[in-house]
Amino acid sequence: MKRIFSPESIVVIGVSERPDNLARNIIGNLRTFRYQGDLYAVGLREGEVYGIPIVDSLGMVPDDLDLAVILTPADTVPALMDTCGRKGIQRLVIESAGFSEFSDEGRRLEEQLLEIARKWNIRFVGPNCISVINLETGVCLPFGPISPEILRKGPASVVAQSGGVSLTYLGLLSKTGVGVNKVVSIGNKTDLDETDYLTYLLDDEKTEIVCLYLESISDGRRLMDLARSSSKPIVIHKANRGKASHGVAFSHTAALADDDRIVDAAFRQAGILRAQGFQDMAAIAQGLSLPPVQGNELLIISRSGGHAVSAADTAERHGFQLPPLPDSFIAAVRTLFSADVIAPTNPLDLGVIYDFQLYAQIVEQSLQALSPNAVLLINTYSQHEADNARQLARRVGEIVREMGYPIAVCNYTDVDDIQSTQNEIGYPVFDDIHSALRGLASSRDWNVSVRNRRAITPSYSRIKIPEDKSDERILTADKALDFCESYGIPVAQWEIAHNPEEAVKSAERIGFPVAAKILSSEMIHKTDYGGIGLKLANAIEVKLKAQEMLNRMAESSREAQPLAIMIQEMVHEGVEVILGGKWDPHFGPVVMFGLGGIHVEIYDDVTFRVAPLTDFDARSMIEDVKGARIFEGYRGTAPINRESLIQALLSLSQLMVENPNIVEMDINPLIVTNEGAVAVDARGKIVYS
């Protein structure tokens, strides 16, 4: 990666003297950003651009150059890559389009690139990308002109699947006072993908924040592993938020587990901050550029009462607490004025004070007396107050550096001076209350996730593949419950019966009352077929229900195996929950939890985590569902045995990790009481490897 981001020699291929030639812009950008390495240009005809001679053959440039940048028609790229390999050039940036994003022929060209790259041990960026920028070294390789005047060097580095988006974030992060260090547009990511760049940037001493824009995720488990081990915050703007699969799902879990829910769960587990859009990404990065927010206590200081009220509402939505101001603080602040002009509340409304220097003194007093986790300072000012406002911002910047507290300055003004103020104080200035509080909340959430990391965290990259492959595609309730029991999940006692007489004998052995259930790989949703009988109290009820079910199955089923029903003990009433497992194409085994029963898809009160789960993951899943209060007991019922539910989640996690050919699994319902958890029904799906 060093030869990609900090090459000491570069050859640009596809250059001509024509004004409309895009590759010449790459040479121009390198000159504009004062790249100091050796620079060469190759084109169809000899010439010169920006003082660099153009040669008409790649063979005429020196061997073993650090980096080649190719911008030629797609069908010429494989041969050029092969020539680079023969000349010892092992790092390439392929900006050309016309590959898999364009046609089947382009896909075949892309496959050729991989074959040639393996032959010569080449690693490459793209194809179909805008390329690489490193403001530390002057490397600026986009094929469109870039102006250094609009850019700000700073702690954030950007990895983007879209070239246009990479430039948008380059400008936006510069404009909002964060600043950018490195940018890479990864295009089709045929060779190097987002995890390769992330690995490099997490070790890069100049990068403090990594911002990614992704439309697809190449290796979700490796992404999670990198994030879990990172000492730097990772922010991802994930677009293309559709479903991972289409069509009718076999299980509730698959029906409810669209791609975006799993992405959300994975990011949360790994401590990745998810941006909802461009402005949101910028706000998060602004907050992370301030000193870290270590907790929920926030002090709001505002010149406008209306802005103070709005900020208090927004702060509550972001989970902040506004602690009351102690008398000692109010007394200290009032010594700064000749009159009793402010109310002792948080938010602190300073609207009747016109001395901006006093604002800075109040900020200092608040930090010394209260030690809040963060301060939001909202200033509204007009043109004739602009100089005083900038002086206030400068002083606040000094306080941030001296005391190490996160202070978000939010200006509402008709003066276009935010960028100049940012340049003076060295910190971002917000232009919106929501953005300021989103930034502070993101800093808090990142630091909380770091503190919550366990000494031993699971690895998401290694999955055990069992050698024994089952030919069966559907796990009916008996086989699914057997699987669950083998992993330590308690299961209600059951037996299989093939006729009414066997059903009665099974019920007598189990003990009345019992439940009777259709056992079929076709009739999955038993209630749709009248396939469940509950609280059957005697032999006559069991016999009649068994005969009814067998008749229904004989009329409706096309299965070759003998007709069968399950006779099962009735479990004491408790809270019905659903546990599910699903194999996701990007993240592997995923576990679902929610309130169960027949209405699970209607209520949609479920949450997901990527397996393997930790104890912390399981506990947070239980707290995440909207109906979590039901677990605490209601109307005289006892609280559930939470530990048994946690253990069931951990057991299902282990089951899914160790059996990757089980692609779907539902335990619904798992009945949880104050005594424990018991699975009473389950089903699963197995696919061939």
**Residue 243 pLDDT exceeds 80:** no
Establish if 635 belongs to a structural domain. yes
How far apart are alpha carbons 260 and 262 in whole angstroms? Answer: 5
Instruction: Specify if 205 maps to a domain.
Output: no
- Give residue 472's pLDDT band: very low, low, confident or very high (50, 70, 90): low
**What CATH number is associated with residue 530?**
3.30.1490.20
Task: Please indicate, yes or no, if residue 161 is contained in any of the structural domains.
Answer: no
Looking at 95, 110, 127, the residue that finishes a domain is 127
Separation between Cα atoms, residue 31 and residue 215, nearest integer Å: 32
Decide which of 524, 550, 569 is a domain's last residue: 569
Is residue 277 pLDDT above 90, yes or no?
Answer: yes
CB 254 within 8 A of CB 304: no
| pLDDT, the chain, mean | 89
pLDDT digits (tens, 9 = 90+) for 450-465: 887 754 566 776 554 4
Residues 650 and 535 grouped into a single domain = no
Average pLDDT over residues 557-570: 79
Report if residue 637 sits inside a domain: yes
Percent of the chain whose predicted confidence (pLDDT) is above 90: 66
pLDDT at 32 over 50: yes
Shared-domain flag, residues 296 and 423: yes
Instruction: Note every long-range contact of 328-334, with CB atoms under 8 Å and residues 24 or more positions apart, other chains counting.
Output: 328/369, 329/365, 329/366, 329/369, 329/370, 332/365, 332/369, 333/362, 333/365
77-106 tens-digit pLDDT: 999 999 999 999 999 999 999 999 889 999
Query: Is the pLDDT score of 247 beyond 50?
Result: no
Which positions ≥6 away from 168 have C-beta within 8 Å?
A: 278
| 249 — pLDDT class (breaks 50, 70, 90) | very low
* pLDDT reported for residue 513: 95
pLDDT at 553: 78
Shared domain for 317 and 377, answered yes or no, is: yes
Note whether 679 and 586 are same-domain residues: yes
Same domain, yes or no: 343 and 419: yes
Residue 132 maps to a domain: no
**Is residue 314 domain-shared with residue 415, that is, in the same domain?**
yes
DSSP 8-class letter at 430: B
Name the nearest CA neighbour of 201 among 157, 137, 166: 157
Same domain as 631, residue 609 = yes
**CATH code assigned at 600:** 3.30.470.20
Residue 157 falls inside a structural domain: no
Check whether 400 has a pLDDT greater than 80.
yes
* Domain tally, the chain: 4
Shared domain for 502 and 610, answered yes or no, is no
Q: Does 528 share its domain with 586?
A: no
282 vs 305: CA distance, rounded Å:
27
Q: Which residue, of 530, 553, 569, is where some domain finishes?
A: 569
pLDDT by residue (tens digit) across 157-191? 999 999 999 999 999 999 999 999 999 999 999 99
120-134, 151-165, 249-263, 304-318: least confident range: 249-263
Query: Which range has the worst mean pLDDT, 327-341, 432-446, 573-587?
Result: 327-341
pLDDT at residue 382 greater than cutoff 70: yes
**Does 323 fall in a domain?**
yes
What is the full DSSP assignment across 649-681?
HHHHHHHHHH-TTEEEEEEEEEEE-SS-EEE--
Report how far apart, in Å, the C-alpha atoms of 138 and of each of 11, 30, 32, 211 are. 15, 7, 8, 20
Residues 529 and 592 both lie in one domain: no
Same domain, 414 and 535: no
Is residue 168 a part of any domain in this protein?
A: no
Q: Which domain covers residue 309, as residue numbers?
A: 291-427
* Residue 587 sits in the same domain as residue 521: no
Full-model pTM: 0.90
CATH number, domain with residue 353:
3.40.50.261
